[in-house]
Amino acid sequence: MELLTINNVWMMICTALVFFMHTGFAFLEIGLTRQKNTLNILFKNIFIITIGLLLYALVGFNLMYPGFADGSSGIVGFAGFGLSSPLTAEGALDLTYNSGYTYWTDFLFQGMFAATAATIVSGAVAERMKILPFMIFAILYVGFVYPIAGSWKWGGGFLDQLSTPFYDFAGSTLVHSVGGWAAVVAVCLLGARIGKFKNGEIQAIPGHNIPLATAGVLILWLGWFGFNGGSVLSADPTLTSLTLVTTCLSAAAGGVVAAIVSTIMYKNLDLTMFLNGILGGLVGITAGADQMSPTDAILIGAVAGAMIVFAVSLIDKLKLDDPVGAIAVHLVCGIWGTLAVGLFGNLAGVDQFISQLIGVVCYAVFCLVTSFIIIFTLKKTMGIRVSEREEIEGLDAHEHGMEAYPDFRLNEH
């Protein structure tokens, strides 16, 4: 009982840290976009975490952990609506659920992950997507698509049943790429912001508060202590400590390499590239943080940092407008981190790499198809993009009827 208590307390602390990451996402997104759309982005972020938890309690948790029967396809299962109290016949706490945490802690920790996938899309579609279609998308994606995708590995589905099981420790693919693939579809169907591309030239649209974006990244880094540290699913001192070390080293390497590569390419010290390099390193190590040595972690982060710079450039050249770099960070580095499990660390090998590749392809197909169906249907039925006037004047005024930074001046009369 004492060990369960220690493990469970650590899991609850990690749950709080992952929850705090939503503050980081909000700060990063509003910092890298324009002042006139701040309230809109904050509204979306608050909506995602609130509706995400409710949906995960109603259907998501039991879609993601359905208890696949022996011989099942391991693709879709459902254990029933709502949460059930795991008590013994005598009404006491059922200690057979898990030695690392209780049923309730398990639900809450996993629920915090669920909302993250839609938050990734929020940044990519910032400044030009209507709020109502985004809310509908978030409900469908968080409520159904993410849990089904998650069940394939974490719920014991078909990817976990491969002869060499697909491996994703904390979600480079299951969380980050799932959000990243949807972001690609959304950006393609939405189109670029007005003024982003003029006469074939890429125009920078600076964010209005880079200090806030910097704070957001540091908060996200802190939150990753819970994101990866909690994914150990216990307070095991050795494995937890190693996971936190590899996480931090990969983040540091990602930031430094991104800063160096961007400076060489663009001849200026770009803080936003530095910040996204840190995030790229974090996403990259997430799939195998418990399997890597410190040296492996630095290499994985370094490659992720370089990839960020080239991915951002490629996305711009493809005329795709991603205001916060979500596709480069979460999709590109998510894929890299997933494949890196087969190249570095304890699981490295040809069979593991093939399993990782199978997983990447399966998630790509599923997420691209489902997100396209959802967003394309919304586009054809109710429209997904605000009018030109609304975009120019700002979504805060037109979607919410207020400003994030009102001008408080004393009445002179």
- Per-residue pLDDT band for 303 (boundaries 50, 70, 90) equals very high
The helix or strand, by DSSP H or E, that contains position 202, with its residue range, turns out to be strand 201-202
Compute the distance between CA of residue 82 and CA of residue 102 in angstroms, rounded to an integer: 17
Structural domains counted in the chain: 1
Structural domain includes residue 406 = no
Buried b (16+ CB within 10 A) or exposed e, 218-237: ebbbebbbbbbbbbbbbbee
Average pLDDT, the chain: 93
- Per-residue pLDDT band for 69 (boundaries 50, 70, 90) equals confident
pLDDT beyond 50 at 410: no
Compute the distance between CA of residue 6 and CA of residue 54 in angstroms, rounded to an integer: 28
pLDDT confidence of residue 25: 96
- 324: amino acid identity, one letter: V
> Which range, of 184-198, 312-326, 394-408, averages the lowest pLDDT?
394-408
Residue the block writes with tokens 């706490």: 93
Structural domain includes residue 126 = yes
CATH number of the domain bearing residue 301: 1.10.3430.10
- Rounded to two decimals, the pTM is 0.94
Half-sphere exposure of 142 (CA within 13 A, CB side): 32
Structural domain includes residue 234 = yes
Compute the distance between CA of residue 198 and CA of residue 204 in angstroms, rounded to an integer: 11
> Under 8 Å CB-to-CB from 41, ≥6 apart: which residues?
26, 29, 30, 33, 122, 123, 126
Q: What is the pLDDT of residues 239-260, one digit of tens each?
A: 999 999 999 999 999 999 999 9
Structural domain includes residue 223 = yes
First to last CA, the chain: 69
pLDDT beyond 80 at 357: yes
Cα 127 to chain center, whole Å? Answer: 19
pLDDT confidence of residue 4: 80
pLDDT beyond 80 at 231: yes
> What is the pLDDT averaged over residues 112-123?
90
Structural domain includes residue 85 = no
Structural domain includes residue 287 = yes
Q: What is the pLDDT of residues 257-299, one digit of tens each?
A: 999 999 999 999 999 999 999 999 999 999 999 999 999 999 9
Structural domain includes residue 405 = no
Residue the block writes with tokens 């004047």: 393
Q: What is the pLDDT of residues 131-160, one digit of tens each?
A: 999 999 999 999 999 999 999 999 999 999
SS3 332: helix
Structural domain includes residue 410 = no
- Per-residue pLDDT band for 94 (boundaries 50, 70, 90) equals low
Q: What is the pLDDT of residues 2-43, one digit of tens each?
A: 778 899 999 999 999 999 999 999 999 999 999 999 999 999
Cα 134 to chain center, whole Å? Answer: 16
Q: Which domain holds residue 288?
A: 2-76+90-400
